A and B are shown apart, each in its own frame.
Chain A
């Protein structure tokens, strides 16, 4: 005798209800201990580029931290400034040109926009109130190279934000995590995008708040961000993230800037425009 559909339906419903109750019970007991709060991080830029990969790496690591504290992070792709203005996001990571960056910043103020791919110096000199930069500016790289040539006149080393063979200061661990996940070496832009997400999530973890204007205030404050380059990093009033740079000759890291013996290695303001014009 086969069971009639009329009988089996309520039976399975019963099981479903029991399962649902279990899920709800476990959800409520865990939420009693730790309420999960969502943080949406906007992303404008190529969907298959280094900036997106770096930001995704940052989101994964933000969640590795957030799961212990009740924060869940999500990367929200946005088409343009108009989409960014309408979106409910805590901060925007942008892989865009100088004009687009200005438009996005103006559209979403007072939320912060973090530029991860434009090295343009005029963007730093403009000192826009809510535009920040984790990628080093062209002037920072020039100063690093000049410091290096002061000691090594014939060197052709170029200054970089990051390098795949960087190992010191736990850079090896970050390079390994990134390559394992993406199958590619971490580029300067990927590092800058990772850093943008990670400094936001660290700041939210520390202060326990995630409203857009508050996030902007907090990250511009007295942060000591560990970009896995051995220095504590924070933002200049130009919006530029202070950071040491690597001198790379071919595929070999030959030095770090500020260059010891030429500048104070602890004075990151020897690289690039240190402050806004008054």
Chain B
């Protein structure tokens, strides 16, 4: 009985979340986060967060938004209701990208220290530190939370880290300057972009085997962020200087579509229902909103200077 009421409440809560949602965008050169109402595609607030904000993430319950404030060596915690920074905590040197674990902890790459660190954002305590390769960058967490990938850009590797042991269980060599990675829904497959070799690699997480490779034909492409569609069938790759999003078949890696967006696209976020893809177009100081059924840009939203990271709280 109690359980039934709880489930009902949860369903109501989830439904109300899904109805709207806000898109949080870090503006690297403005020291702010732009908040976009996903229902109207209008900026409803601009929140000062600290120097050189980059990575953005939302807590599993949607009650907090985290922003890596690289210039302040800190994570700023934004209250999504009040739309202000409620606290900050030290995050080690030059935090850039991070990912939020289903248990609420955050996994950060510390570029200068060749380390990944794990923080409890509720009290700012560092839980663990893992030595990785040179210039760690992208962080991805498997949906079940049992594995974390950290890419090391100058070591050309995906480090597979077991949770909760926080030990590296595999190291997979990929193309030059691996920038970002993402897991399949079952956690068995990972996809990684390599900026300098201009390619996407598909790897078997358990064995470290490279299952596929797709060079992006546009030689200006410096692929950055990467995400899977909710049904797991399509892979979205931010093309950097190619000023477009490449849509790949997640199985064969064949390029299915190319969606033109603004200049220097690097960050990506997908709505919970999978119908909207948000991209940060750095040099055009805008966010593009893509309808993933038609693969059309349905809105461009001017934000602050050099938008970098993006996350949605729906």
The answer to whether A and B come from one shared complex is yes
- CB pair A224 B175 closer than 8 Å: yes
Contacts of A231 in B (CB 8 A): 196
On chain B, the number of residues with a Cβ less than 8 Å from chain A's Cβ atoms is: 24
- The answer to whether residues A170 and B133 also contact, given A225-B176, A226-B176, A266-B220 and a CB cut-off of 8 A, is no
- CB pair A173 B177 closer than 8 Å: no
- CB pair A202 B134 closer than 8 Å: no
Q: Which residue on chain A has the smallest CB distance to residue B155?
A: A65
Contacts of B159 in A (CB 8 A): 68
Is A19 positioned at the interface, with any CB of B under 8 Å from its CB? no
Is B156 positioned at the interface, with any CB of A under 8 Å from its CB? yes
Is B253 positioned at the interface, with any CB of A under 8 Å from its CB? no
- CB pair B112 A176 closer than 8 Å: yes
Q: How far is the CA of A205 from the CA of B210 in the complex (A)?
A: 14
* Contact of A202 (CB < 8 Å), options: B114, B171, B176: B176
Q: Which residue on chain B has the smallest CB distance to residue A174?
A: B154
Q: How far is the CA of A193 from the CA of B143 in the complex (A)?
A: 43
* Contact of A170 (CB < 8 Å), options: B135, B157, B219: B135
Q: Determine how close the nearest CB of chain A comes to the CB of B162; give it in whole angstroms.
A: 14
- CB pair B153 A170 closer than 8 Å: yes
* Contact of B156 (CB < 8 Å), options: A174, A205, A228: A205
Is B185 positioned at the interface, with any CB of A under 8 Å from its CB? no
- The answer to whether residues A232 and B171 also contact, given A170-B153, A170-B154 and a CB cut-off of 8 A, is no
Interface of B is mostly: loop
Is B138 positioned at the interface, with any CB of A under 8 Å from its CB? no
Q: Which residue on chain B has the smallest CB distance to residue A177?
A: B134
- The answer to whether residues A69 and B175 also contact, given A170-B153, A226-B196 and a CB cut-off of 8 A, is no
- The answer to whether residues A173 and B155 also contact, given A68-B168, A226-B177, A232-B197 and a CB cut-off of 8 A, is no
> Which residues in window 121-142 of B have CB below 8 A to A?
133-135
* Contact of B176 (CB < 8 Å), options: A174, A176, A177, A232: A232
Contacts of B194 in A (CB 8 A): 224
- The answer to whether residues A69 and B177 also contact, given A61-B154, A64-B114 and a CB cut-off of 8 A, is no
Contacts of A177 in B (CB 8 A): 134
Q: Which residue on chain B has the smallest CB distance to residue A223?
A: B176
Is B225 positioned at the interface, with any CB of A under 8 Å from its CB? no
- CB pair B196 A206 closer than 8 Å: no
Q: Which residue on chain B has the smallest CB distance to residue A64?
A: B134
Contacts of A202 in B (CB 8 A): 156, 176
Contacts of B197 in A (CB 8 A): 224, 226, 232
- Flag A220-255 by CB within 8 Å of B: 1 or 0 each: 000011101011100000000000000000000000
- CB pair A205 B176 closer than 8 Å: no
Is B282 positioned at the interface, with any CB of A under 8 Å from its CB? no
- The answer to whether residues A64 and B155 also contact, given A69-B171, A232-B198, A266-B219 and a CB cut-off of 8 A, is yes
Q: How far is the CA of A171 from the CA of B96 in the complex (A)?
A: 17
- The answer to whether residues A68 and B157 also contact, given A176-B112, A224-B196, A266-B219 and a CB cut-off of 8 A, is yes
> Which residues in window 166-225 of B have CB below 8 A to A?
168, 171, 173, 175-177, 194, 196-198, 219-220
Q: How far is the CA of A80 from the CA of B156 in the complex (A)?
A: 34
Q: How far is the CA of A145 from the CA of B176 in the complex (A)?
A: 29
- CB pair B196 A205 closer than 8 Å: no
Is B64 positioned at the interface, with any CB of A under 8 Å from its CB? no
Q: Determine how close the nearest CB of chain A comes to the CB of B62; give it in whole angstroms.
A: 34
- CB pair A205 B114 closer than 8 Å: no
- CB pair A228 B154 closer than 8 Å: yes
Q: How far is the CA of A251 from the CA of B7 in the complex (A)?
A: 66
Q: How far is the CA of A228 from the CA of B176 in the complex (A)?
A: 10
- CB pair B173 A232 closer than 8 Å: no
Could you give 13 example pairs across A and B, Cβ below 8 Å?
A61-B154, A64-B133, A65-B133, A68-B133, A68-B157, A68-B171, A170-B135, A173-B111, A174-B154, A202-B156, A206-B173, A224-B176, A225-B176
The 3 closest A-B pairs by CB, nearest first: A224-B197, A226-B176, A68-B171
With A64-B114, A170-B135, A177-B134 given, name 8 new contacts (CB 8 A): A65-B157, A68-B159, A68-B171, A224-B194, A224-B196, A226-B153, A226-B154, A266-B220
